[in-house]
Structure 1
């Protein structure tokens, strides 16, 4: 009998241990690092789960366009007990976001935009990002680099950078009125390496510089903000 070939699976699954590091809170000079499990899961080019994007669906997914929506875990928080300057401002908890995104790839250039809304009632408002990324493959390496900006609404700005009269009385910080606007400009760097057929390594770094009301807030200790992530993943199928 002639040999038969098993049909290709609709699943693409990679996962492995990683480390994530980010400012202790937006505007902080200290860094918080913790272990993560990084996953990259795709089903039929329609459904996906990748990193902090926990469950998503593509409305369009081809060689040029990726348009869709997902539920995104946002690990940003702020605990007043961790810094004497924050006492009286109240805590901010991590949240879940509903995100819509669009991405277009033209040759080695990728244009992307997304909007993500807090849906867990943690006062983290709405965040919008716009980025341009330039990719350079080199053998088993893939280097990606590019600039971007982040805009946030008034709810987000008030939660992380605003100081009301009541908060000022409790904390001793000067009152600070804020509004919707540009939170930062940033630069992204991503590098991946194919270790073997099944093993891969991924690292990313984002340098951001706070702008406007975020930069001038008395809560902000440092305008320059660094976020990094590294992971080693195994491709199961």
Structure 2
């Protein structure tokens, strides 16, 4: 179930939107029920993402989505399966978590990949910080591959603009992604040996800006317990990622939809 790294910004933005939606619902409940340390939402979703970074083909597959918070300190959200906040207030959220990064690439996905070797999914350790000023959220995170799969370091910076309208919440914003040389070599570099096996020209890469991207997210509070969300991320590869002979298309689209139920 490959999910390229491009969608990471969409998941971050969706998490922000779900947090806002949960906050609206919690306000309604507080008047009639005792406060609880737990906030739990979960439900089915669907993901459409590039087959591998730089691919022109896409895959469609179902995913589960969860948004769990305990006491405003511990959380599990989407692919961020275990996290903790060092700071969590109305303005700042600073913390760290472990991520499942199911980005992978299989030689069988495309005949041009023959001889390049497979890339397996991994687990990342991530540090993040975000600040909300009025309707604008500034966020940054750094995530390191700790699963030993050669997926290196990824750093993201995003600005998100939110507009609530009744039960709707609209969020838009641009961002950039930087990766280190190890990540670039794994997904976009072609060594002399790989060139001889695949027929692709050699391609030297180095750390740098991998892409700029734009996120669009919509959430809707259906009822006190039910919420729906949809997200679209458009990314355009840059630099060594864009010029790689592995890359078929510089433009990368990722979409997601989910229906969640708030249990408590």
| Residues in 1 aligned to 2:93 and 2:263: alpha-carbon distance in whole angstroms | 24
Asked if residue 119 in structure 1 is aligned to residue 149 in structure 2, the reply is: no
Aligned to 1:132: 159
TM-score, with structure 2 as normaliser: 0.87
- Which residue, 52, 59, 62 being the options, matches 1:32? 59
* Residue segments in structure 2 that go unaligned for 5+ positions in a row: 1-31
- Which residue, 115, 118, 122 being the options, matches 1:91? 118
Aligned to 1:190: 217
Say which SS state the counterpart of residue 146 (structure 1) adopts. Answer: strand
| Residues in 1 aligned to 2:38 and 2:248: alpha-carbon distance in whole angstroms | 45
- Which residue, 105, 120, 137 being the options, matches 1:78? 105
CA 81–13 in structure 1, closer or farther in 2 if over 3 Å, else same: same
C-alpha distance after superposition, 1:189-224 (max 9, x if no partner) = 111000011000011111000000000000000000
Query: Per-residue deviation at 1:6?
Result: 6.3
**4+ residue runs of structure 1 moved beyond 4 angstroms?**
none
Larger proportion of helix: 2
Query: Per-residue deviation at 1:57?
Result: 0.3
C-alpha RMSD of matched pairs (Å): 0.9
C-alpha distance after superposition, 1:165-190 (max 9, x if no partner) = 00000000000000000000000111
Query: Per-residue deviation at 1:229?
Result: 1.1
| Residues in 1 aligned to 2:59 and 2:100: alpha-carbon distance in whole angstroms | 17
Aligned to 1:59: 86
| Residues in 1 aligned to 2:195 and 2:170: alpha-carbon distance in whole angstroms | 45
| Residues in 2 aligned to 1:78 and 1:10: alpha-carbon distance in whole angstroms | 40
C-alpha distance after superposition, 1:69-118 (max 9, x if no partner) = 00011121100012110000000011110000000000000000000000
| Residues in 1 aligned to 2:141 and 2:109: alpha-carbon distance in whole angstroms | 31
| Residues in 2 aligned to 1:34 and 1:95: alpha-carbon distance in whole angstroms | 19
Say which SS state the counterpart of residue 171 (structure 2) adopts. Answer: strand
* Residues 156-171 of structure 1: pairs in structure 2 closer than 5 A: 156-171=183-198
TM-score, with structure 1 as normaliser: 0.97
Larger proportion of strand: 1
| Residues in 1 aligned to 2:61 and 2:39: alpha-carbon distance in whole angstroms | 26
Asked if residue 45 in structure 1 is aligned to residue 81 in structure 2, the reply is: no
* Residue segments in structure 1 that go unaligned for 5+ positions in a row: none
| Residues in 2 aligned to 1:22 and 1:96: alpha-carbon distance in whole angstroms | 19
Contact 2:51-2:109 within 8 A present in 1 as well: no
Asked if residue 154 in structure 1 is aligned to residue 181 in structure 2, the reply is: yes
